[in-house]
Structure 1
């Protein structure tokens, strides 16, 4: 894999930070390339060197977080649900500005759907409808139920500005997952 120039990474990080900050101030549809350029202190041309448009920038930002969450899932594969969820909630808290903007605002409903699809994909590996309490139930219904509940709780956590510490959220979500999967 080729090494990426630090200047490129710095520019991309500045643009990602700029879009999050601007989304805190106004609707994503109202953000212009000039707004991004001014906030990130780069030229408009520089933005187009890295991204096709503001939607591509947002998509790449979302994709980077989804990929990071996917890697966290892989690293937590041999853990119980509480320990695995603790890793997630630490990541969510560390990236609070991004996730609160994506989940607690109307600015990016696209992210919510991507997050839900990602969770459905991950929880599908955990469901067993051949035995136990889920025996005979439809796998798609169970997976969608669990993933939707998870997204809903995470949205609640961000919308209410983290009313419980991330470790308490992890413990309770993990316990609920253990009871239902």
Structure 2
């Protein structure tokens, strides 16, 4: 994709997010989106079928980026304990997840309120966690906890750093019976 096309798509996606933070999605029109983005309506239709397609493509793009963060680097329990105990390093994929959320803060602050996106996020995280564990109940529990923590972090305007959040979750994963976690 050339840089001009990418810039146009990003502009349209950002316009939709801005509008969604101002009013209900149902009341947003393609006209509103193109006016906000400063782009011709015909240009919009070169890239998207309608506002639903724009929202869907935007969500898929962000979820693909989150999937990459979860997958890389891969998790190894023994290495994670060693890294944490020797260097106070959080699990690297957790750090990648929280940095991703920080990078796309505006998207998550709007879309975490959308039921359809929440369901897609939950399914994707469970699917990725299932690669590390065959216990579906544990995957569902961990996905719910992670989504709840992400929702809390975003709603608190990311008061804590991605490093702090990743370190906290690392402590919970590596030392689930610890009576006190470092704040």
TM-score computed with the length of structure 2 as normaliser: 0.83
Q: Which residue of 1 aligns with 2:91?
A: 82
Is 2:161 aligned against 1:155?
no
Residues 1:97 and 2:106 aligned together:
yes
Give SS of 1:126's match.
coil
Alignment match, 2:137: 141
Gaps of 5+ in 2: 81-89, 177-183
The separation in 1 between residues aligned to 2:101 and 2:120, in whole angstroms, is: 15
Aligned length: 164
For 1:124, the equivalent position in structure 2 comes to 130
Asked if 1:58 is matched to 2:55, the reply is: yes
1:69 positional shift: 1.5
Give distance in 2, aligned partners of 1:142 and 1:173. 15
Match for residue 69 of structure 1?
66
For the 8 Å contact 1:120–1:147, the answer to whether it is kept is yes
- Please report the RMSD computed on the Cα atoms of aligned residues, expressed in angstroms: 1.7
Partners of 2:160 and 2:3 in 1: how far apart? 37
Q: Does 1:36 align with 2:42?
A: no
> What residue is the counterpart of 1:8 in the other structure?
5
Q: Do 2:16 and 2:33's aligned partners in 1 also have CA atoms closer than 8 Å? A: yes
Unpaired runs of at least 5, structure 1: 129-138
Q: Is the 8 A contact 2:71 2:128 kept in 1?
A: no
Distance in 2 of aligned mates of 1:36 and 1:20:
9
Alpha-carbon distance in 1 for matches of 2:175, 2:140: 16
Out of 161, 164, 168, the position equivalent to 2:164 is 168
Q: In the alignment, is the contact (CA less than 8 A) between 1:157 and 1:163 conserved in 2?
A: yes
How far apart are 1:44 and its partner, in Å?
Answer: 1.5
1:25-69 Cα deviation digits (max 9, x unpaired): 111111110100101111222111111111110110010011112
Superposition TM-score, scaled by structure 1 size: 0.83
Hey, what's the Cα distance between the residues in 1 that align with 2:148 and 2:142? 10
